[in-house]
Each structure stands twice: as structure tokens, then as C-alpha cells.
Amino acid sequence: MPWKAIGIFDSGVGGLTVLKEIIKVLPQEDTIYLGDTARVPYGTKSPETVTRYSLEIASFLVKRDIKLLVVACNTASAASLEALTERLPIPVVGVIEPGARRAVATTRTGKVGVIGTEGTIRSSAYAKAIKRLNPEVEVITRACPLFVPLAEEGWTDNEVAHLTARTYLAGLREQGVDTIVLGCTHYPLLKRVIGETVGEDVRLVDSAEETARTVADILRGRDLLRPDGEQGNHHFFVTDVPAGFIRVGNRFIGGRLGDVYQVSLDAEKERP
């Protein structure tokens, strides 16, 4: 069992920031990543549709003998985590609960900001998770949709990025927020400009980092970690032509992805 891979999926490239943190924390582990690039974005789709997509992807990854599944997508974490946990025989980790847990532990004023895509903010998933952990924490949310194309274009530290960050985030400081959750897997690429905009006294919670720590804790607790000193291998699959994923993905992972294979999830349903 320890020699099996960690499975990770997202609607596209954003989950690669989660994969990057997992590799940093657990360099000895093999990973299998699937980006559902043929059906991105998930945020505009119904929870029922997102859950169906997530179960199809989980089936694909489980057939490849994974030992843990990471739902590296905020929308899928909000919509399908319960269904995945009920149906799969392996641990399932989303990106929302780890970020919420760290935010509650970090805030000093009891005022937490959550920034994300319109779909994630509309779902109130982070606010609900934070309130479950501590009902006294005030949660102030802000949709920042333009951060996604900025991250994918590589415009993460120029005048456009700074202006966009100031436009979105100015109000959060005025409302007394001392902790901000980066509630989108694209946002770690903009961490520097976000931090400069809100100031050093506002702490940023990176859900990707917290998810990687959670994965490590679960595997360690179940004695499922590969030995230290091993070197993990990483495999990438997409559901559409790989070219765009590779171009943007190299930036997200901070290196070269290597081979990326296109697969058909419909064809996979026929596979035993």
C-alpha cells in the first residue's frame, strides 16, 4: 500500500499548485494528476454535474491504484467531497477544510477574509467550514475572478496585477481582516502582489500548502508513506489536447511537466 501513488484532480491547471506543495512536502511519493480540461470551468456548472464529473475522475484514478485522493479544486471540494468520501475505499482530501482550519488558528482579531472565484464565493463553502470550526469568527468574502486569467497569462507581478489586487482587496483591510484565505488554486501565483497590497500585518493562508500538510499527516498516521530518500515519479493526464495545459502548467509547477497524456473518461467507463 505505501508504494501506491497519490491521486490528484482539478478542472484544469490550478490544482498543479497543490501538486507542487505535495511534492515539496513528500518528495518520495508518486503522484497521478488529472486535469479535466475538456469540461473546465466547473464553477459555472451545477453541484450535481460537478459531483458526476468528480466521480468519473475518481474512478479513473482509483483504477490506477492510488492510496489517497486529493480534490485539488475548490468547486469540486464544495460540491462532491461528501459523495467521494462515501463511495471510495481510500482517504479523500479537499482543499477547503485545511485552509479553513489554518485560518481559524491564525486569526487574532476574529475577522477572516476569503478570496476566490465567483463560484467558490457563491457556494459559501469556506465561510461554512470556518463557522463550523469557530462560530465566533466573522468571515468577509470577496470574489476576484480576474486573478485566474492573470495567473494563467503569467501577469503576476506587473502593473495590471497590482491595480487588480488594489481594486479587489482595498476594502478587506478597512474591515479589519487580519487573515486572508487564498480560496483558489490559481492564487498562490499572485501571493506576492496580494501580500504587498494588504500589508505584512495581514497573514495569507495558502490552501495548497495546508492541503499538502494534511495529506502528509493522513499518510503518516496510516503508515502509508514511502521511505525517505526515495524519488517520486509524476504522471499527468488531461481530457483535452495537452498543449495549452503544458504551456500554463510549466509556469504553475515551476518547472517542466514532462509527458502529458490525453484520455477519454467515457472510454474509461468501459475499462474493468
Nearest-angstrom CA–CA distance, 185 and 208: 7
144 is catalytic: no
Beta-strand relationship, 111-116 and 5-10: unpaired
Cβ pair 3, 63 in contact under 8 A:
no
Which residue in 8, 16, 73, 260 is the catalytic one? 73
Which residue in 57, 129, 184, 219 is the catalytic one? 184
**Taking Cα atoms as reference points, which of 118, 122, 69, 76 lies closest to residue 96?**
76
Cβ pair 150, 190 in contact under 8 A:
yes
CA angle 60, 19, 227 (to 5 degrees): 90
**Taking Cα atoms as reference points, which of 226, 179, 174 lies closest to residue 31?**
226
**Taking Cα atoms as reference points, which of 208, 202, 200 lies closest to residue 182?**
208
Which residues are catalytic, by number? 73, 184
